[in-house]
Amino acid sequence: MTRAVSTRSADSRGHWALAAVLVGVLAVWNNVVIPQVSGATASYVVVNCGAAGVLVAAARWTGLTWAELGLSPGRLWAGLRWGGACSAVVALALTAAVAVPALRPLLTDARAADLNAGDVAVEVLVRIPLGTVLWEEVAFRGVLLAALARVLPVRRAVATAAILFGVWHIRPTLSGLAANDLVDAAWLRTLAVFGVCAFTAAAGALLCWLRLRSGSLLAPALLHLATNTLGTVAAAAAHRLVDSAA
């Protein structure tokens, strides 16, 4: 009995340690580390895929199961159903936005203005699925959520993972604001960053719910993939249509 209690206590400490380290690493990874390698697609993909592999290995070493990580083969079909349905909604919404002239300016992003067909293909087939979606889903809805759920009530675990996902987007938001020359005043920029990060935190909560509801990491991964890849295609298409109409 004493041995069993000791083992559970050690496991708890391991999960607390994993969760604490992850929170610290993820808070700075996308804001400090990735800017050093994000310019080169190959480096970006290799670094993030490598990091995803390390996280899964660490999670398994601390005793987290494949089911807790959302990687149980038995839940793939459920993940496909939920993720596919959500992806279809995203596809319909973006198609409608591109088709309606009044909505096209909402999709435009200066970072997509000069992308040719080859650039878009690299983004949607390599950089986004392997460098962004795989890494972020494994990190946030996979390992972090599973580790937090071992030491916190599920709602707190989801809230923590979601807030951290919002913090993750500080640097990309600043880059987007600068690229599109949207705000000049420091207070407006701060307000915009807070708003976007709050929105992405809410999106993170939705992705966590989808992961828990389906039991599979595939569900949030498919929604995330559809949002980012189809969003890139829609932004590039909107730019061309707006320019041709000018």
Q: What percent of the chain has pLDDT over 70?
A: 92
* CA-to-CA separations, 117 to 124, 237, 246, in angstroms, rounded: 11, 10, 22
Q: In 3D, which of 158, 123, 146 has the Cα closest to residue 60?
A: 146
Q: Which two tokens stand for residue 102?
A: 């009044």
pLDDT above 50: residue 2: no
Residues 46-87: pLDDT tens digits? 999 999 999 999 999 999 999 999 999 999 999 999 999 999
The H-or-E segment that residue 107 falls in is helix 104-107
Instruction: Tell me the average pLDDT across 172-191.
Output: 79
| CA–CA separation, 149 and 147 (whole Å) | 5
Q: What is the mean pLDDT of the chain?
A: 88
pTM of structure? 0.89
| CA–CA separation, 145 and 216 (whole Å) | 12
Q: In 3D, which of 245, 239, 227, 236 has the Cα closest to residue 94?
A: 227
Query: Counting runs of H as helices and runs of E as strands, what totals does the chain give?
Result: 12, 0
Model confidence at 147, pLDDT cuts 50, 70, 90, reads: very high
Q: In 3D, which of 90, 211, 124, 89 has the Cα closest to residue 162?
A: 211
| CA–CA separation, 133 and 225 (whole Å) | 6
Instruction: Tell me the average pLDDT across 177-193.
Output: 79
Residues 119-141: pLDDT tens digits? 899 999 999 999 999 999 999 99
The torsion angles phi and psi of 216, rounded to 5 degrees, stand at -135, 140
All structural domains of the chain with their residue ranges: 2-245
pLDDT score recorded for residue 245? 65
How is 160-179 classified by DSSP, letter by letter?
HHHHHHHHHTHHHHHHHHHH
| Vertex 210: Cα angle to 131 and 214 (nearest 5) | 105
pLDDT above 50: residue 7: no
pLDDT score recorded for residue 38? 67
